[in-house]
Amino acid sequence: MLKVTLRDDSVREVARGTRIVDILNELGGRLKKEAVAAVVNGLVVDVAHELKEDATLRFVTFEDDEGQDVYRHSSSHILAAAVKRLYSDVKLGIGPSIKDGFYYDFDYSESFVPEDLLKIEAEMAKIIKEDHPYERFELPRQEAIEYFTSLGEDYKVELIRDLPDDVVISCYRCGDFVDLCAGPHLASTGKLKAIKLLNLAGAYWRGSEMNPMLQRIYGTSFPKKSLLDAYLTRLEEAKKRDHRKLGKELDLFSMQDEGPGFPFLHPNGMILRNELEAYWRSEHQRAGYDEIKTPVILNRVMWEQSGHWDHYQENMYFTKIDELDYAVKPMNCPGSMLIYKTKMHSYRDLPIRMGELGLVHRHELSGTLHGMMRVRSFTQDDAHIFMLPTQIKEEVKKVIALTEKIYNTFGFDYHLELSTRPEKAMGSDEMWEVATTVLREVLDERGLPFVINEGDGAFYGPKIDFHLTDSIGRNWQCGTVQLDFQMPEKFDLSYVGEDGQKHRPAVIHRVIYGSLERFMAVLIEHFAGAFPVWLAPRQVLVIPISDKHHVYALSVLEALQEAGLRVEADLRNEKVGYKIREAQVQKTPYMLVVGDKEAEAQEVAVRERVAGDVGSIKVADFISKIQDEITTKAVPG
């Protein structure tokens, strides 16, 4: 008999070969209905999995991340099965689950159009109703190659050939559809309830521009129609907030064919950016940072020294100067190392905090570019802190406190992830363990909840990532705190200790905005373009009721300008209602309407962006009110 330890630490004895679904049926209740898979000794498996040894067993539902992956991966198989039924000569690429959904890539001679999605959805509904079991089976390597070759699935054959020799070739069958897949999956197609296909896109096979362009169909799925409806409503809201759409409407930025992936900031966009930079500078000066600027292009020797030439070359741009190899910087950190090294430091000098709003360039595939969210040139609000090993914890705590302060200014909630050593990394296991332990201890000591993100650290050290939650519930990874013992070694950095000997400093790499361009995009969508007054490109619009009120309107304009406000007057020969509606579309925080009554009383009739008409007020009192909003950086309610 085998011993199975459940989540509540109770132990059951079962016969070898018992299926997980048998235990699930015995337990009954809500879990029997909602479980989509199980975790056995740390591995996610189908409920049809047979137990061969003593095990810890945990059931997962759609409420778990693992459960959502299984549910949506199973959905992608139904999508592929439906497409194969409708278009027999299509060839299959891959079909993983992704955040909030799934996709499948297809090689097909005809171009899919939006109308095809409705037809495919209908076929998927038939397959769900047929309730085919997801059946796992394994094939010897050569037999698997021959099997998928006979089906004409060239991409599957390529995947099999690239798998290590010792990997088991597993497949899943549902009805007459078979796919190469590691699983796990739901018990049957009938377990899927609410599915929606969302859109089409092109995608290079295996992400390489050297490979064929496939057609990608995106979809999502949920166990309840109400959850799907809520998600689709959120998608509609996200479309309204799309920073590319609002960026054009508010004249903030543009993307041009002459520079794909290189954003053009317009005057309004530069106001937003300059305000973000000014806020960054003021907070960092208070926190003891000195600002620096390092070159955009540095020679190959330096990039070899930093490790980027070996570990990051595919993301870099290169050039030659005087017949020598140079690279455009993808990161700012080596420049900070070189500045530190320009003079000898004592332990009394540390910590040294260097901040840089540094322009970097990274080679991104054209298919991954997305407005200002994913670009090829961007400015990172980098900082590098050089410190004694005994100062690490205190400095990490200060970085977290500064990050929290800045995010709170914008009204963001967030959660934390601790990312550990990636497969491609510099340094010994021991160094990595020390660095990871320090970050974990800081989070524990501050009482901050976090999740582990295995293998997602930087190549030179582990990191803490901040994931912001915006006003409609989406998450964005922005800030990061990375602890590094590798770069000081690579650049032979040192300080003179109390003992008069040279020692290695530790280094923290950190960003808070992450990328100014991406953070601007997040803010555009978070506020739906209706920025807080301190960020708004135009803070106030003065609207005279008629031509005879232009003189007073201009006097109000002048008073506000002298107070340092960004203000314009609309003197066009248009109706007041039209001017107000246009200002609302432009997300102007305040509209000041002036006529005979206001001119006589030296007042303005105030109209707020959200609240509408709020009454008349003295010009001086309005200036005091709006300046207070700007100083406190008040967030719209």
- Reduce the DSSP state of residue 250 to 3 states and report it: coil
Q: Is 478 a catalytic residue?
A: no
From 185, 384, 549, 587, the catalytic residue: 384
Q: Which one of 72, 243, 362, 518 is the catalytic residue?
A: 362
From 171, 181, 333, 478, the catalytic residue: 333
Whether 333 sits among the annotated catalytic residues: the reply is yes
Query: What is the β-pairing status of strands 463-469 and 352-361?
Result: unpaired
* Category of 427 on φ-ψ map: left (φ > 0), alpha (ψ -120 to 50) or beta: left
Q: Write the CB contacts of 594 (distance below 8 Å, at least 6 apart in sequence).
A: 542, 543, 544, 545, 549, 552, 553, 556, 604, 605
> Is 361 annotated as catalytic?
no
Residues 6+ apart with CB under 8 A from 183: 45, 46, 134, 136, 170, 172
Residue 345 catalytic?
Answer: no
Confirm whether 482 is a catalytic residue.
Answer: no
179 catalytic residue (yes or no):
no
Helices within 205-358 (DSSP H only): 225-241, 243-249, 267-286, 300-306, 308-311, 333-340
Q: Could you give the CA distance from residue 148 to residue 77 in angstroms, rounded to a whole number?
A: 16
| Largest distance between two CA atoms of the chain | 96
> With contact defined as beta carbons under 8 Å apart, do 15 and 2 qualify?
yes
Shortest CA distance to 56 belongs to which of 22, 8, 124, 106? 8
Nearest CA to 419 out of 384, 443, 386, 383 is that of 443
Quote the DSSP letter at residue 473.
Answer: S
Q: How many CA atoms lie within 13 A of 556 on its CB side?
A: 35
Of the residues 64, 382, 465, 570, only one is catalytic, namely 382
Active site residue 293: no
Task: Give residue 551's Cα distance to chain centre.
Answer: 50
How far apart CA 149 and CA 157 sit, in angstroms, is 6
The one catalytic residue in 68, 215, 380, 391 is: 380
Q: Which of 91, 376, 463, 549 is catalytic?
A: 463
> Which residues are the active-site residues?
333, 362, 380, 382, 384, 463, 509
